[in-house]
């Protein structure tokens, strides 16, 4: 193990990267690439286009997300982003081992591809592939508990006992932040909505970050909004490009209710609290009180005001308030990265690292 390690946590919306030992990743950038046809040889062929990071404001329809719903759908884009990250760190700090966090949806072929990129293309000395849910557990300073991870592409629930996953309780819900964004796109812009319209993207992102919250009781909150006169809350609006203010509806501000009442938004599957309860109930009866007492939410969606309070109330209503507890750290949107930063210095993971020499030997066998 090295004294310092480069940690890459590549999510569906953002990539977090940096050297281990910090209180947060040193680099956070959108997981977005764009393809621009080359003037010298224009055309649709891969050989006739240039890939770059982020969005091109002159060609907003050329960007895409290489990771969706926890699955890599564009390895070329992933290679480009990882190359940028490692080149930047090498220029500033030199060469270090790398931890790449991975979604539980990745299969053996994805892991092999990750190692090929890291060793053959990027020439790193050693790599550790780390499960994102397990890293979130360590960031909460827990060995036993229930990780509730809700990001852009996936919402996942995984119980652990003494650091080991309890597989009967594993839950994956395929509604997450991007579904909330899709709801806001359609409700704000109706038939004119476009996921490649940069103004609409900015409006939706700003609404999610600054206006949305989780009500403690949906019915009571809707009644409250209905009792307000028009324009009573000046913060309850956004502006069109021409400066015209538009007032948000109650359901637009309460969009994160999606995680607690998915049927209201025409989404299938159990609510997040129901999935947590079912996850705990699927484990051994003797472990249930301990698991209910150590629920660890993480991921960007858990930052919505009211989210952790509502989650606690619903879990406590099933297991009793004296037994339930929710651990909500202020940096829980970086939980995976922070957990990997801890693991980088644990000797118990030494046997799970793969060196470049070991990888080359495997290929020869």
227: tokens are 């009792």
Q: Can you tell me the mean pLDDT for 157-166? A: 97
pLDDT tens, residue by residue, 106-124: 889 999 999 999 999 999 9
* pLDDT for residue 276: 97
Asked whether residue 345 is domain-assigned, the answer is yes
C-alpha–C-alpha distance, residues 336 and 70, integer Å: 14
All residues at 6 or more sequence positions from 317 whose CB lies less than 8 Å from its CB, including other chains: none
Angle at 10 (CA atoms; ends 260, 163), nearest 5 degrees: 70
Asked whether residue 80 is domain-assigned, the answer is yes
Question: Do 186 and 85 share a structural domain?
Answer: no
- Is residue 84 classed exposed, middle or buried when 0-12, 13-18 and 19+ CB atoms within 10 A define those classes? middle
The whole-model pTM stands at: 0.91
Average pLDDT, the chain: 90
Taking 50 as the threshold, does the pLDDT of residue 44 lie above it? no
Asked whether residue 51 is domain-assigned, the answer is no
Report helix, strand or coil for 127: strand
How are beta strands 14-19 and 27-30 bridged, if at all?
antiparallel
Question: Do 355 and 206 share a structural domain?
Answer: no
Q: Helices 335-343 and 132-139, interaxial angle, to 10°? A: 80
Taking 60 as the threshold, does the pLDDT of residue 90 lie above it? yes
Question: Do 157 and 102 share a structural domain?
Answer: no
The pLDDT confidence band at residue 43, using thresholds 50, 70 and 90, is: very low
Pseudo-torsion of CA 285, 289, 154, 26, nearest 10°? Answer: -140
* pLDDT for residue 159: 98
* pLDDT for residue 23: 92
pLDDT tens, residue by residue, 131-159: 999 999 999 999 999 999 999 999 999 99
The pLDDT confidence band at residue 39, using thresholds 50, 70 and 90, is: low
Asked whether residue 222 is domain-assigned, the answer is yes
Domain of 95: which CATH number? Answer: 3.30.420.40
Question: Do 299 and 359 share a structural domain?
Answer: no
Taking 70 as the threshold, does the pLDDT of residue 306 lie above it? yes
The pLDDT confidence band at residue 1, using thresholds 50, 70 and 90, is: low
Question: Do 273 and 153 share a structural domain?
Answer: yes
Which neighbouring-strand residues pair with 340?
none
Asked whether residue 138 is domain-assigned, the answer is no
C-alpha–C-alpha distance, residues 155 and 132, integer Å: 12
Q: How many domains does one find in the chain?
A: 2
* pLDDT for residue 105: 83
Query: Tokens 């966090």 identify what position?
Result: 101
Answer with the residue of higher pLDDT: 364 or 258: 258
All residues at 6 or more sequence positions from 261 whose CB lies less than 8 Å from its CB, including other chains: 218, 271
Among 234-238, 279-283, 303-307, which is the least confidently predicted range?
234-238
- pLDDT cut 70: percent of the chain above it: 93
Asked whether residue 256 is domain-assigned, the answer is yes
Question: Do 349 and 281 share a structural domain?
Answer: no
Question: Do 16 and 127 share a structural domain?
Answer: yes
Asked whether residue 52 is domain-assigned, the answer is no
The pLDDT confidence band at residue 92, using thresholds 50, 70 and 90, is: confident
C-alpha–C-alpha distance, residues 78 and 12, integer Å: 11
Q: Helices 177-189 and 198-210, interaxial angle, to 10°? A: 120
Asked whether residue 265 is domain-assigned, the answer is yes
| Domain of 155, in residue numbers | 143-326
How many beta carbons lie within 10 A of that of residue 164, not counting itself? Answer: 11
Among 64-68, 90-94, 178-182, 302-306, which is the least confidently predicted range?
90-94
Question: Do 95 and 26 share a structural domain?
Answer: yes
pLDDT tens, residue by residue, 9-28: 999 999 999 999 999 999 99
Q: Can you tell me the mean pLDDT for 84-88? A: 94
Question: Do 232 and 161 share a structural domain?
Answer: yes
Taking 80 as the threshold, does the pLDDT of residue 264 lie above it? yes
Question: Do 290 and 178 share a structural domain?
Answer: yes
Answer with the residue of higher pLDDT: 269 or 27: 27
Question: Do 95 and 197 share a structural domain?
Answer: no
Q: How many helices, marked H, and strands, marked E, lie in the chain?
A: 12, 18
Answer with the residue of higher pLDDT: 257 or 56: 257
The pLDDT confidence band at residue 323, using thresholds 50, 70 and 90, is: confident
pLDDT tens, residue by residue, 227-244: 887 766 766 777 766 677
How many beta carbons lie within 10 A of that of residue 8, not counting itself? Answer: 24
Question: Do 201 and 93 share a structural domain?
Answer: no
64: tokens are 């895409």
Query: Tokens 């700090």 identify what position?
Result: 93
Give DSSP secondary structure letters for 79-124.
HHHHHHHHHHHHHHH----EEEEE-TT--HHHHHHHHHIIIIIS--
Query: Tokens 């760190």 identify what position?
Result: 89
pLDDT tens, residue by residue, 176-195: 999 999 999 999 988 888 88
Answer with the residue of higher pLDDT: 155 or 45: 155
Domain of 234: which CATH number? Answer: 3.30.420.570
Taking 80 as the threshold, does the pLDDT of residue 40 lie above it? no
* pLDDT for residue 2: 59
pLDDT tens, residue by residue, 325-348: 999 988 999 999 999 999 999 988
């Amino acid at each position: 193990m090295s004294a310092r390690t480069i940690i890459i946590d590549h999510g569906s919306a953002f990539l977090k990267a940096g050297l281990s030992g910090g209180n947060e990743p040193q680099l956070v950038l959108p997981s977005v690439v764009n393809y621009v046809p080359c003037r010298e040889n224009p055309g649709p062929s891969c050989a006739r286009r240039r890939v770059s990071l982020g969005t091109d404001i002159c060609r907003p329809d050329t960007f895409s997300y290489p990771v969706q719903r926890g699955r890599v759908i564009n390895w070329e884009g992933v290679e480009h982003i990882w190359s940028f990250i490692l080149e930047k760190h090498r220029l500033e700090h030199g060469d270090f081992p790398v931890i790449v966090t991975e979604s539980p949806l990745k299969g053996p072929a994805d892991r092999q591809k990750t190692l090929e990129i890291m060793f053959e293309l990027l020439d790193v000395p050693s790599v550790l592939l780390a499960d994102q849910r397990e890293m979130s557990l360590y960031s909460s300073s827990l060995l036993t508990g229930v990780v509730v991870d809700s990001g852009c592409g996936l919402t996942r629930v995984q119980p652990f006992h003494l650091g080991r996953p309890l597989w009967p309780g594993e839950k994956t819900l395929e509604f997450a932040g991007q579904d909330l964004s899709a709801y806001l796109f359609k409700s704000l812009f109706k038939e004119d909505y476009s996921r490649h319209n940069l103004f609409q993207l900015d409006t939706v992102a700003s609404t999610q970050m600054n206006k949305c919250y989780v009500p403690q009781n949906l019915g009571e909150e809707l009644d409250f909004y209905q009792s307000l006169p028009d324009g009573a809350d000046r913060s309850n609006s956004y502006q069109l490009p021409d400066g015209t203010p538009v007032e948000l509806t109650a359901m637009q501000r309460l969009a994160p209710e999606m995680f607690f009442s998915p049927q209201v938004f025409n989404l299938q599957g159990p609510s997040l609290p129901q999935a947590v309860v079912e996850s705990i109930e699927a484990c051994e009866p003797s472990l249930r009180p301990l698991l209910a007492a150590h629920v660890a939410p993480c991921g960007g969606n858990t930052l919505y005001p009211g989210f952790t309070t509502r989650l606690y109330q619903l879990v406590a209503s099933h297991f009793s308030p004296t037994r339930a507890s929710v651990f909500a750290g202020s940096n829980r949107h970086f939980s995976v990265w922070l957990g990997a930063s801890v693991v980088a210095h644990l000797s118990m993971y030494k046997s799970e690292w793969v060196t470049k020499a070991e990888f080359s030997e495997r290929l020869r066998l």
